């Protein structure tokens, strides 16, 4: 078992790998889209009752959870016969940074850490969120797992990431809100991992089994 600590010791870290949805961005946008907006619009488009549409969507989505298709807008657009990207644009005003994100990213850059966004978000979704938030201005690299054709849940993702970035797992911090992905990172050998207690600002959650924070001000300032 890889040893994990509650708070980063910044002198031990060179590279910071960051998830996007639920970590840097409020997961409320995604939850609202998949659980509320899409069922309603799917019902409208296909002439269904809302309860029937919601049941059909839930069944299909659960079949692919944690797989690359689960995150693929092109896959869902074809499977559901709707334009997922356009439907997301209808509620793009809900895309929002989580508290203290800009402060945290500025501190990382000022401290000379390499800051890499690694996300399972499909490139179409990623582009929309970068357009709204301008997150890429604070990042050294932005990588979607779709580039590697495997999600962060799989060890192959981490092997390809290390070939691309040549990071040292022993001197890398990874922050994500999804526990199965933290499991995958830990299994690969990432020494420093950190979870997010409440990725969706509208839903309470407490993480057990991993060190976790509510907001990034808890791990500021970044001191060597």
Q: What Å distances lie between residue 28 and 18, 24, 111, CA to CA?
A: 18, 12, 30
- The answer to whether residue 12 is catalytic is yes
* DSSP state letter for 8: -
pLDDT at 62: 81
Give the residues of the chain that fall short of pLDDT 70: 1-6, 224
In the chain, CATH 3.40.50.1000 sits at 10-27+96-219
212, two tokens: 């976790």
pLDDT at 223: 74
The answer to whether 111 and 14 have CB atoms below 8 angstroms apart is no
pLDDT at 3: 41
> The domain 10-27+96-219: what is its CATH number?
3.40.50.1000
As a whole number of angstroms, the distance between CA 122 and CA 120 comes to 6
| 3-state SS assignment for residue 141 | strand
As a whole number of angstroms, the distance between CA 1 and CA 29 comes to 34
* DSSP state letter for 125: H
Burial track 16-39 (b if 16+ CB lie within 10 A, e otherwise): bbbbbbbbbbbbbbbbbbeeebbb
- Phi and psi at 195, nearest 5°, equal -105, 170
pLDDT at 175: 98
As a whole number of angstroms, the distance between CA 208 and CA 106 comes to 29
Q: Give alpha helix (H) positions in the chain.
A: 28-32, 38-46, 50-63, 73-80, 84-89, 101-110, 123-133, 155-165, 179-188
Q: Which listed residue (12, 127, 140, 183) is catalytic?
A: 12
Query: pLDDT tens for residues 150-179?
Result: 999 999 999 999 999 999 999 999 999 999
The answer to whether 45 and 86 have CB atoms below 8 angstroms apart is no
As a whole number of angstroms, the distance between CA 115 and CA 141 comes to 7
How does DSSP assign 68-96, residue by residue?
GGGG-HHHHHHHHTS-HHHHHHTTGGG--
132, two tokens: 């709204």
């Amino acid at each position: 078992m890889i040893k994990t600590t509650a708070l980063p010791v910044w002198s031990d870290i060179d590279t910071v790998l960051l998830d996007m949805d639920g970590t840097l961005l409020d997961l409320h946008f995604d939850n609202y889209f998949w659980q509320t907006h899409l069922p309603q619009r799917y019902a409208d488009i296909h002439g269904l009752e809302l309860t029937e549409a919601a049941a059909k969507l839930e069944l299909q989505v659960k079949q692919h959870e944690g797989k690359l298709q689960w995150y693929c807008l092109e896959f869902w657009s074809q499977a559901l016969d709707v334009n997922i990207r356009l439907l997301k644009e209808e509620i793009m005003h809900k895309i929002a940074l989580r508290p203290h994100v800009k402060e945290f990213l500025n501190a990382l850059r000022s401290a000379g850490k390499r800051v890499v966004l690694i996300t399972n978000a499909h490139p179409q979704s990623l582009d929309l969120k970068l357009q709204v938030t301008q997150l890429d201005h604070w990042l050294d690299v932005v990588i979607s797992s779709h580039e590697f054709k495997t999600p962060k849940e799989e060890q192959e993702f981490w092997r390809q990431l290390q070939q691309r970035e040549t990071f040292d797992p022993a001197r890398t911090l990874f922050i994500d809100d999804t526990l199965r992905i933290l499991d995958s990172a830990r299994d690969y050998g990432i020494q420093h991992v950190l979870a997010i207690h409440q990725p969706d600002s509208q839903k309470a959650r407490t993480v057990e089994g991993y060190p976790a924070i509510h907001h990034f001000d808890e791990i500021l300032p970044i001191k060597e």
